[in-house]
């Protein structure tokens, strides 16, 4: 595999071979009008420690290793859905980071419950995609969320899947006009303090979520059908590390 480095990301050029990676709706939200769950809730328990994973050939990959520690990553914008403080997204050195020296973390642990800081790449803008990240839930008493966002129009309109070790589940939501609506949920092993692999595949109205190499959610939904940006997300007082954010356009 060969790579090309530029502004905190690399483009994977060579072939990569790696292991594939009903609660009440939020107040004020409306039920989805065109969602169908084809495989949800129960599935195989994912391993506690994520296997090494390589992004698909042709992916754009952010390792954060060429970014300046103590600063936001280059090429990203930031926002917050809901209430509370905006958030503080910072590149920091972390021993044992999957790709090298640095990770991306949201360091402001405001405990406001309906608070969702989001960091998203300025490009590419994609509709159909294969999106993945390595994430490590570190701490948080209200939540320990590790989230992936896609088809993001702005900080109040996007799809998000999030994993939470405090609840031992992975869930898929859409956020529309800042209101979060759950689409699907899987209960299984989500471990704090270790690195996991997290992946979303979106084609048209079909959305798949993979956790530590196992497909745990398959869902159809038509809330957001246009191209959007991709990024990472946390909730409330979550301290979570992210590394190796990668995305590939699907034809």
Cβ neighbours of residue 33 closer than 8 Å, sequence gap 6 or more: none
The residues pairing with 243 across neighbouring beta strands, listed in sequence order, are 134
Output the pLDDT for position 43: 41
pLDDT tens string, the chain, 251 residues long: the values are 434 333 344 444 333 333 333 444 444 444 443 444 444 444 434 444 444 457 777 889 999 999 999 999 999 999 999 999 999 999 999 999 998 899 999 999 999 999 999 999 999 999 999 999 999 999 999 999 999 999 999 999 999 999 999 999 999 999 999 999 999 999 999 999 999 999 999 999 999 999 999 999 999 999 999 999 999 999 999 999 999 999 999 98
- Over residues 191-202, the pLDDT tens digits come to 999 999 999 999
List Cα–Cα distances, 172 to 46, 56, 146, in angstroms.
Answer: 17, 22, 12
Output the pLDDT for position 100: 85
Beta strands in 87-238 (DSSP E): 89-93, 102-106, 115-121, 129-139, 146-154, 157-164, 169-176, 179-187, 196-203, 206-211, 214-220, 229-233
Contact 22, 172 (CB under 8 A): no
> CB count, 10 Å around CB of 10?
21
Output the pLDDT for position 64: 97
Output the pLDDT for position 17: 32
Output the pLDDT for position 55: 75
> The domain 3-13+36-249 belongs to what CATH superfamily?
Exo-inulinase; domain 1 (2.60.120.560)
Q: Please choose, from the candidates 243, 214, 244, the residue with its C-alpha nearest in 3D space to the C-alpha of residue 42.
A: 214
Beta strands in 3-83 (DSSP E): 3-6, 9-12, 36-39, 60-62, 76-82
């Amino acid at each position: 595999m060969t790579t090309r480095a530029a502004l905190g990301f690399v483009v994977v050029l060579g072939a990569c071979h790696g292991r594939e990676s009903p609660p009440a709706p939020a107040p004020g939200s409306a039920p989805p009008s065109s969602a169908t769950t084809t495989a949800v809730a129960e599935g195989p328990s994912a391993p506690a420690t994520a296997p090494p994973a390589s992004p698909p050939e042709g992916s754009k990959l952010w390792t954060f290793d060429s970014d300046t520690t103590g600063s936001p990553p280059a090429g990203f914008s930031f926002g917050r859905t809901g209430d509370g403080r905006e958030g503080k997204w910072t590149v920091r050195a972390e021993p044992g980071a999957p790709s090298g020296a640095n990770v991306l973390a949201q360091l402001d642990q405001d405990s406001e419950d309906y608070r969702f800081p989001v960091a998203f790449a300025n490009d590419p803008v994609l509709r159909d995609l294969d999106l993945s990240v390595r994430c490590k839930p570190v701490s948080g008493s209200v939540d320990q969320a590790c989230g992936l966002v896609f088809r993001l129009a702005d900080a109040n309109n996007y799809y998000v899947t999030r994993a939470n070790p405090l609840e031992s589940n992975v869930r898929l939501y859409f956020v529309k006009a800042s209101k979060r609506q759950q689409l699907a949920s899987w209960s299984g092993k989500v471990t704090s303090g270790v690195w996991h692999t997290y992946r979303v595949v979106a084609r048209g109205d079909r959305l798949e979520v993979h956790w530590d190499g196992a497909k745990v959610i398959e869902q159809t939904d038509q809330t957001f059908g246009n191209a959007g940006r991709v990024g990472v997300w946390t909730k409330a007082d979550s301290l979570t590390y992210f590394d190796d954010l990668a995305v590939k356009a699907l034809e």
